[in-house]
A and B are shown apart, each in its own frame.
Chain A
């Protein structure tokens, strides 16, 4: 028993200590700060109660950011999970050149998000972007893409999926490689085709991987702000004004750390509820 406790402590301590010192402690400081405000008149920080939270829920631009974030996530998460699982299945098929194909899909993973956004910005340039040149070839006139308030969010979804599919597919591939081959052999003896095996063997075996990917993908899309930061500035007309981007601006551009902290807390609570629901739906029933 004592040996077990020692194991738990020694194995857990380094990682947990790092996480608590460098991640959790700053988060809790932020929660604390969200109840204060800086007074420019008195040049000091004063207790503000829930004033910052009232601002979060009454400011129409913040509410718009919350709305945009939710709409984005409702679309982008299912799309990315469905497509990246599809990509993983495709990359599992034994074809000549499979290693080459897998490597290709690692390229967007290695492109940093900032660079990816810059490159997509050039591609989607409304004037002389390659995309418009391609569309012209098939007879479609120039589009504004990210400058069009009805298209901008859709293109952010496209470019973040371009960046994300290979990444999430990687975890699916790792999971798929672990599904015992014997199960498939047994199933094929029973006459099950590919789709039946997928439904009755692969999916149940992949549940834990799915749980990881679904929760991680939700988190990373909730806190995504680089496309807005690099490309759209939150526009046009607030169409891509993600909550996280507004938080970033509130903190660094509008120098209101306290309000930003309150917004982070609201974001964390929203995120907590959503991934809590996801975890519950995908819980291990044993």
Chain B
């Protein structure tokens, strides 16, 4: 009797949770649905069926892939590959270098630590767009204009990522490090063989931040690139608008690809989230 009551309660709470999920999914998709269906519509149909609300609002009547074909004809593919490369290198180096710094901030004491950490926080209080002028001057002096270097290197060091790793490593069990030290492992070996392999989930979060930062940046690439070969996704997207017109079908199609691609990359990484320190059973 008692048991039945509990399962009944559980079923109800499960129902509530699923309902909540469905509402959230609707909220997530609400702004996207119009772009998605519109990207398959011919230009003249874009706004025709928005109001009043009918099934035609959500399902294109005349389906066309014109928008997708035309953006790739205009070099959107190159822009995607460029952005993937830039973001990929930034993520790889960013996780490693910022992770090392975060680890030191969490686990070592040294002179000047507080000042340096203050600089870390300061560095992410000003957005990249506003550093552009002085930074651009620097890039000219370094003669990095129109190279991948200019797009990648200034974006690797990231205060937020260092802060993220520091917060994580603060809770990293000291006894594990101690045990490794007793086993005769050096500082470097401990970091690369013990600490880093146990930082998968946090590294993915960090990688995502770095990836998104690069994926989103729009003013910086314009300033430091010259040739179309270095076009990035956001640049290609803003190229679908001219002074007078916005090619909405192209903008929608380009946007859909621009966010589905990162999601497709993130999806398989999900499993690492459940496989943090806890499941390896080494947490204190």
Contacts and interface: CB of A to CB of B under 8 A. Distances in A.
Contacts of B262: 109-110
A107 B32 contact: yes
B101 A11 contact: yes
Nearest to B27: A162
A211 B171 CA distance: 13
Interface stretch (A46-54, A65-73, A215-223): A215-223
A174 interface: yes
Interface stretch (B64-72, B74-82, B122-130): B122-130
Contacts of B31: 116, 119-120, 122-123, 159, 162
Given A24-B119, A27-B131, A133-B50, A264 B126 contact: yes
Interface residues of B, dominant DSSP: helix
A268 B126 contact: yes
A136 interface: yes
A81 interface: no
B45 interface: no
Contacts of B208: 109, 170
Given A11-B103, A109-B212, A128 B119 contact: no
A253 B195 CA distance: 48
Given A15-B97, A115-B258, A106 B276 contact: no
A283 B260 CA distance: 39
A119 B255 contact: yes
Interface string B124-145: 1111011101110010000000
Interface stretch (A55-63, A146-154, A175-183): A175-183
B251 A4 contact: no
B18 A114 contact: no
Interface residues of A, number: 96
A258 B101 CA distance: 33
B202 interface: yes
B124 A219 contact: yes
Contacts of B124: 23, 216, 219
B78 to A, nearest CB: 18
Contact of A14 (B97, B131, B273, B284): B97
Given A111-B255, A133-B51, A174 B17 contact: no
A219 B155 CA distance: 18
Contact of B53 (A113, A127, A134, A178): A134
Contact of B100 (A12, A24, A123): A12
Contacts of B62: none
A237 B110 CA distance: 51
A39 interface: no
Interface in B181-219: 186-188, 191, 201-202, 204-205, 208, 212, 215-216, 218
Contacts, number: 266
Given A26-B138, A109-B212, A223-B125, A4 B278 contact: no
B6 to A, nearest CB: 12
B263 interface: yes
Say whether chain A's binding surface is mostly helix, strand, loop, or mixed: helix
Interface string B70-96: 000000000000000000000000000
Given A27-B126, A122-B35, A257-B133, A90 B273 contact: no
B122 A268 contact: yes
B53 A272 contact: no
B101 A27 contact: no
Contact of B130 (A90, A123, A260): A260
A177 B201 contact: yes
B163 interface: yes
Interface in A1-50: 3-5, 7-8, 11-12, 14-27, 29-30
Interface of A: 3-5, 7-8, 11-12, 14-27, 29-30, 87, 90, 93, 95, 97, 99, 101-116, 118-120, 122-123, 127-134, 136-137, 159, 162, 166-167, 170-171, 173-174, 177-181, 208-209, 211-212, 215-216, 219, 222-223, 225, 244, 247-248, 251, 257, 260, 264, 267-268, 271-272, 275, 284
A-B pairs with lowest CB-CB distance, top 5 = A18-B157, A23-B123, A26-B134, A15-B101, A110-B262
Interface of B: 14, 17-18, 20-21, 24-25, 27-28, 30-35, 47, 50-53, 57, 97-98, 100-101, 103-104, 108, 110, 116, 119-127, 129-131, 133-135, 138, 153-160, 162-164, 167-168, 170-171, 186-188, 191, 201-202, 204-205, 208, 212, 215-216, 218, 234, 237, 251, 255, 258-263, 266-267, 270-271, 273-274, 276-278, 283-284
Given A173-B273, A212-B163, 14 more contacts: A15-B97, A16-B157, A19-B158, A22-B153, A23-B157, A23-B159, A104-B28, A105-B24, A106-B267, A118-B251, A120-B31, A174-B202, A248-B129, A264-B126
12 contacts: A11-B100, A11-B191, A12-B116, A14-B97, A23-B131, A30-B131, A101-B25, A104-B28, A219-B160, A248-B129, A251-B130, A275-B121
